[in-house]
Structure 1
Amino acid sequence: MALPIEPLQPLAPASGLARLAPGLAYAGAVAALAFALRELPGVGLVGPMSLAVGLGIAARALVGAPAAAGPGLAFALRPLLRLGVMLLGLQLTLSQAASIGAGGFAVIAVSLAGTFAFTLWAGRRLGVAPRLTQLIAAGTSVCGASAIVAANTVARADDEDVAYAIACVTLFGTLGMTLYPLLAGPFGLDAQAYGLWAGASLHEVAQAVGASTAGGPEAGEAGTVAKLSRVILLAPLVIGLGLWSARGTGREAGHPPAPWFVGGFLALIVLNSVVALPAEAKALAAQVATALLAVALAAMGLSADLAKLRARGARPLLLGLIATLFITAVSLGGVTLLG
């Protein structure tokens, strides 16, 4: 159940900051705990964003979330989240997408589009709620938790739907990261083909990089470039989903199908492509983006009702599994055709 949040009123800066402080501090503490837990053996396989949303759900169930935290949590779920996604653009360049060649990019694009469409179809067949289906489709086809929170700016699903979708991509992406290195040999993939397969199909960036690197330096480079090229397609997917979600939904006419941060995301990709930005600046931007998204997802977990999360049942989990198997098979087929 979403927290009761009072609408923000125009206030003096100090007063406004005071209203935001409790919620931001609460979400920040949960996010900090997520980063700390990743230092434990084995926990590092799970990204800080996925850990943050899980810890947020647990904190709400065990400790609760006071009403005073509401404004700060709302701020984390809106401006901070969008800024975090936008900053991801500084990790990508158009030359990276070009470096994998037309065939490699075609495998990525077809796998992404096919998986998204197939997941929407399978969700209807399984009776999964449309908005939850859209989030699972976005997370599976593009880049895990980041794609889910970006897609939700236009899908506008409940916090419980977001948390469930992130749980799906975390579970199946982590399983894929551990199983992929065992499959390169049986499938007859060389290092470049294996890296392209991992980058084109695994959900989170860290999962794709981890799995592809296990195949050696050449596979690691191919997997990283393929995955980052796939993330570039996040912007057109959000725009398309916004247009699709607005069809016949009766939403207010003024609701834009593409939120402002999508334009910022694309602008930063172009900037990073044409300007030689210092490596230190890009590394700092990556750290800031991860921290902002972790705080936002901690806030989302703190706003989610565990009972409503359980009420979703097992069908969305089955949908996540089916979608993962689909993108795995389609991308493998594409890589095999490329030779």
Structure 2
Amino acid sequence: MTMPVLTSRPAHPFLSGAANLVPGLLLTGGIAAVAFGLRQLPGLQLFSPLILAIVLGMALHNLVGTPVVAKPGVTFTLRRILRAAIVLLGLQLTAAQIVEVGVAGVAVIALTLVATFLFTVRLGRLLGVDAPLAQLIAAGTSICGASAVIATNTVTRAPDEDVAYAVACVTVFGSIAMFLYPLLPGLLHLTPRAYGLWAGASIHEVAQVVAAAYQDGQAAGEFGTIAKLTRVMMLAPVVLTLGFLASRRAGAGTETARPPVPWFVLGFIAMIAFNSLVTVPAEMKTVLVGLTTFLLSMALAAMGLETDIRRLRAKGLRPLLLGLAAFAFVGSFSLMLVMTIG
């Protein structure tokens, strides 16, 4: 009598694919958690977890190496989790914030953004900086730092080394602004509201704006934060426009070419609309803000895990000079507009 042979059923493709993601998700999540922990140490509170996460990821990759088994999860984090985090970012913004800034304030922010972006891209061309890298530095300087860099890269599709370089640029010069700006309102005879608008319209990261603006008092801090969040709102149209222009260049001469629709940006806009119409409980909003920052930190950790410092060195000093020039332009141009409107 023959015994039946028991054969194991193959794992479902979805379950098998999900299992492949686990090592990379654990690695990027672990790096993000360490970044949050390091931020509690003296001297590191001024750096956002996003910046610490990409530095840790780069250190691990270049000193030890990214494990092969983690590659699928790292790629998933860069693509899917990044987009989910940008959608959630919309819950931190409302249309009412634009009303509070006022027409003149919004005009200052919008004009500064457009002028800085165009100036940086144009100067990058003159300096011989690769167009995708120049666009990333332009987005990070003109909109909202590292978040804008990684969001813009979803349409520019620059190498990871370009993204890391751009993040480094906006981090360095945003940090300089954070320490420099609080020394200037008295010298420039700026009111708290004018100083807050200037800080919100020109400093790179949200956290850097908060740190700099509150140095001039509560009123300057609150208005600077609102002005900065209004500027973050403009991330969506910028990414949509860049995606459209990229598709036009790629599909030049073909009638069937269609611009790719970055659905995550539409989700970002939808979340702003939702947050403007529905009151989200403060406790839930606190949790969502923390979750969004953590997911963005995971994405930056993944970026670091795919960044080779040797390739960064090969970029040379020209992109750094471009970042410096963009920093000087955004500060001086926005200050001119703020002083013009009084």
Structure 2 counterpart SS, 1:45? coil
Worse-superposed segment, 46-55 or 211-220? 46-55
Q: Which residue of 1 aligns with 2:287?
A: 284
Residue 310 (structure 2) aligned to one of 307, 310, 315: 307
Q: Which residue of 1 aligns with 2:137?
A: 136
Q: Which residue of 2 aligns with 1:82?
A: 83
Q: What is the CA–CA distance in structure 2 between the aligned matches of 1:53 and 1:166, rounded to whole Å?
A: 9
Query: Which amino acid in the other structure matches residue 321 of structure 1?
Result: L
Query: Which amino acid in the other structure matches residue 301 of structure 1?
Result: G
Asked if 1:95 corresponds to 2:96, the answer is yes
Q: What is the CA–CA distance in structure 1 between the aligned matches of 2:248 and 2:326, rounded to whole Å?
A: 24
Q: Which residue of 1 aligns with 2:227?
A: 226
Structure 1 alignment gaps of length 5 or more: 1-9
Q: What is the CA–CA distance in structure 2 between the aligned matches of 1:243 and 1:12, rounded to whole Å?
A: 35
Q: Which residue of 2 aligns with 1:72?
A: 73
Q: How does 1:154-173 map to 2 (within 5 A)?
A: 154-173=155-174
Deviation of the 1:13 alpha carbon:
3.9
Worse-superposed segment, 109-118 or 64-73? 64-73
| Structure-2-length-normalised TM-score | 0.93
Q: How does 1:91-240 map to 2 (within 5 A)?
A: 91-240=92-241
Q: Which residue of 2 aligns with 1:3?
A: none
Structure 2 alignment gaps of length 5 or more: 1-10
Structure 2 counterpart SS, 1:42? coil
Q: What is the CA–CA distance in structure 2 between the aligned matches of 1:144 and 1:276, rounded to whole Å?
A: 28
Worse-superposed segment, 119-128 or 304-313? 304-313
Q: What is the CA–CA distance in structure 2 between the aligned matches of 1:146 and 1:256, rounded to whole Å?
A: 23
| Structure-1-length-normalised TM-score | 0.94
Deviation of the 1:246 alpha carbon:
2.4
**Contact persistence 1:154–1:258 (CA under 8 A):** no
Structure whose alpha-carbon radius of gyration is higher: 2
Deviation of the 1:14 alpha carbon:
3.2
Structure 2 counterpart SS, 1:248? helix
Deviation of the 1:50 alpha carbon:
1.2
Q: Which residue of 1 aligns with 2:3?
A: none
Q: How does 1:243-258 map to 2 (within 5 A)?
A: 243-249=244-250, 256-258=259-261
Q: CA RMSD in A?
A: 1.6
Aligned length: 330
Q: What is the CA–CA distance in structure 2 between the aligned matches of 1:208 and 1:258, rounded to whole Å?
A: 31
**Contact persistence 2:247–2:257 (CA under 8 A):** no
Q: What is the CA–CA distance in structure 1 between the aligned matches of 2:278 and 2:304, rounded to whole Å?
A: 37
Closer, same or farther: CA 334–257 of 1 in aligned 2, 3 Å: farther
**Contact persistence 1:20–1:71 (CA under 8 A):** yes
Deviation of the 1:310 alpha carbon:
1.2
Listed one character per residue, the Cα deviations across residues 258-296 of structure 1 (whole Å, up to 9, x for unaligned) are 411100000000011111111122211111111111011
Q: What is the CA–CA distance in structure 1 between the aligned matches of 2:293 and 2:169, rounded to whole Å?
A: 20
